[in-house]
Amino acid sequence: MDFLRLIGILIIVVGFIFKFDTIAVVLIAALVTALVSGIPFFEFLSLMGEAFVNNRLVTLFLLTLPMIGIAERAGLRQQAVNLLEKINGITAGRLFSIYMVFRELAGTFSIRMQGQTQFVRPLIEPMSQAAATTKYGEISEADAEKIKARSAATENFGNFFAQNTFIAASGVLLITGTLESLGYTISAVDIVLATVPVALFALVVVVISNILFDRKMNRKYGRVNQQQKEGK
């Protein structure tokens, strides 16, 4: 019966595979897990309410989501397409590299932002799609999905590897406090100095990956465009 409590993981995996609504899948998985674990329904609702109140990130997400919808309805995606059409030589990979630099600088100066909801979904992702279609014309659905994944991954890389490059970041304070409690004397400056090379290395790796991605797209769609011209 203990393995039955893991059914929530199965529900999430199946939901993501069939691309069901993410929030609905997570809530259903949590509810089913609670019920099979013997937690009454109303106690489950109480736990969800407490988590909602205590987790400020959830509140910020729910406040941001309507703004994203309003912005997209007002033509944000189309404006992104128009902007990219005016910039010569921009590609999806170059755009991701620029955003990676911006994201790491934001971490260095402790500019905290909900990157996925405030920048990636409404701005970076549609702009990268526009850059690809402007340069190559119509792209395949598989490549469009790869661009979506790469835009989200760029945000994650920039946030994860550069979040401790600010001396007063919560992660830095957590590390120093934990090490001091274990008997190790270390300063916040030491943590930052150790993090900066990691952040720079991550930046180099991401930029190289983006260059290779652009080259792959150029080879693929350059060949397709050439075949189309020869067919005409």
Domain ranges of the chain: 2-54, 61-231
Note the pLDDT tens digit of each residue in 44-91: 888 777 766 655 544 555 555 565 565 556 566 666 666 666 666 789
What's this model's pTM, rounded to 2 decimal places?
A: 0.65
Distance between start and end Cα atoms, the chain: 65
Note the pLDDT tens digit of each residue in 168-190: 888 888 888 888 888 888 888 99
Mean pLDDT, to the nearest integer, of 156-160?
92
CA dist., res. 111 & res. 105, Å (int) = 8
The residue among 143, 195, 148 whose CA lies nearest residue 169 is: 195
Q: Which two tokens stand for residue 74?
A: 């007002």
